[in-house]
Chains A and B, each alone.
Chain A
Amino acid sequence: GESVGLHLPTLSVQEGDNSIINCAYSNSASDYFIWYKQESGKGPQFIIDIRSNMDKRQGQRVTVLLNKTVKHLSLQIAATQPGDSAVYFCAEKDNAGNMLTFGGGTRLMVKP
């Protein structure tokens, strides 16, 4: 079936560097995507979203890029901080807008 997945299970970066977390999705009919951050023992926390009619969206220190041609999504975190250490999930919403499908997550580790 259709699924959302991530390329790298663990990403280690130096504090202050930029981080890029990648995600591949397979449902070409999905039209809405969200990045979530999940810290240990907590629920997923919304970071940023993007609709399929956009290629790029920026938030505070975060940017999401969407490449519909290759069905690829990325999350860029500028000036990564220790508080950014967490597991990051991309999720897609089906075109009926009824549920989110998550991938397996990427763990981001920030080295001081």
Chain B
Amino acid sequence: DTGVSQDPRHKITKRGQNVTFRCDPISEHNRLYWYRQTLGQGPEFLTYFQNEAQLEKSRLLSDRFSAERPKGSFSTLEIQRTEQGDSAMYLCASSSRNMNTEAFFGQGTRLTVV
């Protein structure tokens, strides 16, 4: 399967712990996006990369959230000092460099903070 891959699929963590999620985009895609989705809502944009450059991060929910894409391939999203309100589905998507082309999503990482 050459689609967008996310790991882990599910994560349960205690409040206050740090968590890190990984996303492997479609190999020829140089744009990578992170979204958060809560129950019953549409995905909410967090940040995106073009190659290794993080071009938009003002939508990250707080300074506890950070993302990296060091080699322009896979990306990680880290949440520090997790809170119960961070419980959500975290989605990764990738697209080609063309402005108006579809973004393909991974299956997401479901985070539960207890």
Contact = CB atoms under 8 A, between A and B. Distances in A.
Contact of A43 (B44, B91, B100): B91
Interface stretch (B13-21, B63-71, B79-87, B102-110): B102-110
A107 to B, nearest CB: 9
Interface residues of A, number: 26
A31 B33 contact: no
A46 B43 CA distance: 14
Interface string A18-33: 0000000000000110
Select the residue from B56, B100, B104 with max chain A CB neighbours within 10 A: B100
Interface of A: 4, 31-32, 34, 36, 41-46, 49, 51, 89, 91, 93, 96-105
B27 to A, nearest CB: 17
Contacts of B105: 36, 43-46
Contacts of A46: 102-105
B100 A97 contact: yes
A100 to B, nearest CB: 6
A43 B108 CA distance: 6
Contact of B107 (A43, A49, A101): A43
A101 B48 CA distance: 13
Given A32-B99, A44-B91, A101-B45, 19 more contacts: A34-B103, A41-B107, A43-B6, A43-B93, A43-B106, A44-B43, A46-B104, A89-B42, A91-B42, A97-B99, A98-B56, A99-B48, A99-B56, A99-B59, A100-B103, A102-B42, A102-B43, A102-B44, A103-B42
Contacts of B56: 98-99
Nearest to A45: B105
